[in-house]
Amino acid sequence: MKHNLTESYPIVKNRYEALRARNMRLDISRGKPGPDQLNLVNPMLSILTEDDYLSGSGIDCRNYGGVDGLPEMRQIFAEILDVSASDVIIGGNSSLNLMFDRISDFCTHGVCGGIPWHEQGAVKFICPTPGYDRHFNICQYFHIQMIPIEMTQTGPDMDAAETLAESDPMIKGMWCVPVYSNPTGCVYSDETVKRIARLKPKAPDFRLFWDNAYTVHNFAENRPVIPNILKECTQNGNADMPLVFASFSKISFPGAGVSAIAASENNRKHILSQIGIQTVGPDKLNQLRHIRFFKNADGVMEHMKKAAEIIKPKFDAVLTAMEEELTGLSEWSKPKGGYFIHFRAEENCAKRIVDLCGQAGLIITEAGAVYPYKRDPKDRDLRIAPTYAQVDELKSAMEIFCAAVKLSYVEKMESINIATKN
Ligand code: PLP
């Protein structure tokens, strides 16, 4: 997009310098819940009393065991993910950890008893971009080649995904964040989900990493409902293709939530045999705290409404500032849930904007982070994470952000003018 900024360089520069002189210090680089949101969950810290350690099903949560999780916790995840409790295995506090472990196990031990990925040659993954940097970090860590495809408003570019997955046996996986994708906030359309479920990957050991991190993180009137990937895949002869991940990190506490994986019986059998070697059992007392606090999936939905009352004004503060200052100059997402706003700057300006924000004390996600290998070919995509800061802080932060965007644009214009004069 070509900008139509009418303010001159000195005006834009002076404003930026005035804002820089305020010596602000704020970090909105990561999608962390704010203390106000975490406070909603504080009663959970003391919810278990001395004699409350038996689950409803009679399991002593203090002891070893229960590798697949408490039945009540599996039931809560089952309702959230629209699957059966028997489809669910409970993990520790981090779903990213579960994703890492799956990939690690596939690399060294193969998928469901198949040939280890690392013995097959150069493994590749399809990476819809802009995407989640920590997914890309996992791939990089395991030397998995990342193939970027475009993330559209309705999900990944499915023509590209089909062509790649169906032609190359070394393409072993694809990252998907189907609801309120990180960072674009898009929700996959029904058609996209169905096309994904119909994929006929060339690799028999292809797995879909279906990271449903934001399925209940809604601040619109209604929570988006998309087709159930496990059912859709099963109907298309792909029952073993999807691995569905979710967690309570942004429902309860990011440092002390509960994660889960839902998958076919065949997948679960292999996952459990690996987990059974890795651990003698997860933290069931923490699962019990979650069960006592939320009670059931309805309790989770009610809680998320309270969280939305805190989160929505933060998104509104950022979006209003962008609308007032940057309309006609740039484009950005207007999500109805999730944790991020995706900002598309002019080409070759993203790094400079991050740098200018940083000099003025505002830390935003590193430019390039939403691309594999941190390589944004057009240096234009940025991610804003409004949830950690308070609304007033965000208003000040956005003054800096908008001033930085404008300054980067006029600097670019100036350098083009100088280059053409020379
Ligand atoms: N998946 C996505 C898409 C995320 O955005 C995040 C955190 O920002 C995570 C996973 C991390 O999940 P967890 O805290 O359960 O490891």
Amino acid at 363: I
pLDDT tens across 146-191, in order? 999 999 999 999 999 999 999 999 999 999 999 999 999 999 999 9
Mutation choice for ligand 1 from 93, 97, 175, 182, CB with most ligand atoms inside 8 A: 182
Locate the ligand 1 atom nearest the alpha carbon of residue 248 and give its number. 15
Nearest residue by C-alpha to atom 2 in ligand 1: 213
pLDDT tens across 18-70, in order? 999 999 999 999 999 999 999 999 999 999 999 999 999 899 999 999 999 99
Mutation choice for ligand 1 from 211, 251, 370, 387, CB with most ligand atoms inside 8 A: 211
Q: Give the Å distances, CA to CA, from 110 to 126, 245, 280.
A: 19, 19, 23
Region 337-363: mean pLDDT is 98
Region 237-242: mean pLDDT is 98
pLDDT beyond 90 at 237: yes
Q: Give the Å distances, CA to CA, from 73 to 120, 248, 250, 258.
A: 37, 11, 16, 9
Residue 210 in contact with ligand 1 by CB distance below 6 A: no
Residue 131 in contact with ligand 1 by CB distance below 6 A: no
**CA–CA dist 60, 403 (Å, integer):** 57
In the structure encoding, which two tokens stand for residue 267, read together? 């997948």
In angstroms, how far is CA 111 from the centroid of its own chain? Answer: 24
Neighbours of 283 (CB within 10 A): 16
Ligand 1 centroid to residue 187 C-alpha, Å: 16
* Band of pLDDT at residue 415, cut at 50, 70 and 90: confident
* Strand pairing class (88-90; 259-262): antiparallel
* Band of pLDDT at residue 420, cut at 50, 70 and 90: confident
pLDDT beyond 90 at 421: no
Assigned fold of 49-295? Aspartate Aminotransferase; domain 2 (3.40.640)
**CA–CA dist 256, 264 (Å, integer):** 27
pLDDT beyond 90 at 5: no
pLDDT beyond 80 at 419: no
Percent of the chain with pLDDT over 90: 95
Determine the pLDDT at residue 342: 98
pLDDT beyond 70 at 4: no
Residue 348 in contact with ligand 1 by CB distance below 6 A: no
Region 391-410: mean pLDDT is 97
- What's the whole-number average pLDDT of the chain? 96
Which residue is associated with the tokens 């292809």? 206
pLDDT beyond 80 at 2: no
Structural contact between residues 213 and 131, judged by C-beta atoms closer than 8 angstroms: no
pLDDT beyond 60 at 320: yes
- Parse the chain into domains and list their residue ranges: 9-31+301-421, 49-295
Determine the pLDDT at residue 3: 58
Helices (H) and strands (E) in the chain, counts: 13, 13
pLDDT beyond 60 at 83: yes
* Band of pLDDT at residue 356, cut at 50, 70 and 90: very high
Determine the pLDDT at residue 422: 62
Nearest residue by C-alpha to atom 6 in ligand 1: 213
Determine the pLDDT at residue 120: 98
Residue 271 in contact with ligand 1 by CB distance below 6 A: no
Ligand 1 centroid to residue 175 C-alpha, Å: 12
Determine the pLDDT at residue 324: 97
Residue 213 in contact with ligand 1 by CB distance below 6 A: yes
Instruction: Mention the CATH class of domain 9-31+301-421.
Output: alpha beta
pLDDT tens across 118-154, in order? 999 999 999 999 999 999 999 999 999 999 999 999 9
Mutation choice for ligand 1 from 132, 174, 187, CB with most ligand atoms inside 8 A: 132
Provide the whole-model pTM: 0.96
